[in-house]
Structure 1
């Protein structure tokens, strides 16, 4: 139905992270928006399925704090049903899309119905999408991609969690380097990725890695 064995993985490209007026702005995030737009268009024109992860917090979320250390805790951001939790225009999922909420438990039939759509949104309540939405693993097993191309924010938090989680599940992971951005004061994960044989590419190189 979609491009065989290939999946794009858009991490948290939400207003609160991407915009200078957002609640948890990632410095320089706007610099990757032109590339994000190209990736979204490329996925559509090549009929590639996209998993879009999104922070979707309530006031009692464990990672939120009024006295954050900006490493393991952060100020309120991407609160459920607010504009800050919405995707920036460059990565808005094409409709119809499937939406998987972290506080719901779905059956296998539900998830099979979800993966009919080219775009899937996974709402999560933790840095790690596999911990922040317990349905993620079942979704991934049903899609069963061989290669996943990851992009979004932030390099050293949620992108890192996604990359490591995917790689540890035996999937070939490619990170699009000109479509990620990091938070300051947190170590970069590149040496860890190298040990997991994660490949780092630019968007201009993507076509040669699809087959």
Structure 2
């Protein structure tokens, strides 16, 4: 993930607005004080990053934060790890004795989830076909994993995307390959504020088109 200054994002959003709006809309925006417009743009940044990071294809998520500092083992060489409080989206998880990583965890209401408690090894997730599930425990929100060859296995990869936030330096983390989509999404949110829903929808579609 790359750290972007709010002023840089604001500048790029202004360019996107100039290039993708009609003269009538530009006149309305032009009537707004520059500082006021900048404040409106900055107020949309966190929401835009959240939307884009939540919907982007996994292969565009370049980076994130690590998790799974501690493993809690259960029967059948399965276990769970506590998810961070700022956990927003799962990126990847892999134990070092698995043949492949998991990029799409299941939920507890998924039919596959019940199979993970089966006493028959071939029905549960295995090292060849591992399964991860997001669930709730008394300790908080966790990610369960099924399963390993032994409880000596270690985490080799565990990455998630946090809820976006603006840091004390006036910057925010954004996946680099999602940046253009974030800029267009902010511009769309700004246009909605000014009542131009048609152009806002067009910019939202443009944002989706660059997430391919």
Q: Could you tell me the TM-score, scaled by structure 2's length?
A: 0.25
Q: Which is bigger in relative contact order (C-alpha 8 A, separation at least 6)?
A: 2
| Structure showing greater Rg | 2
| TM-score where L is the length of structure 1 | 0.25
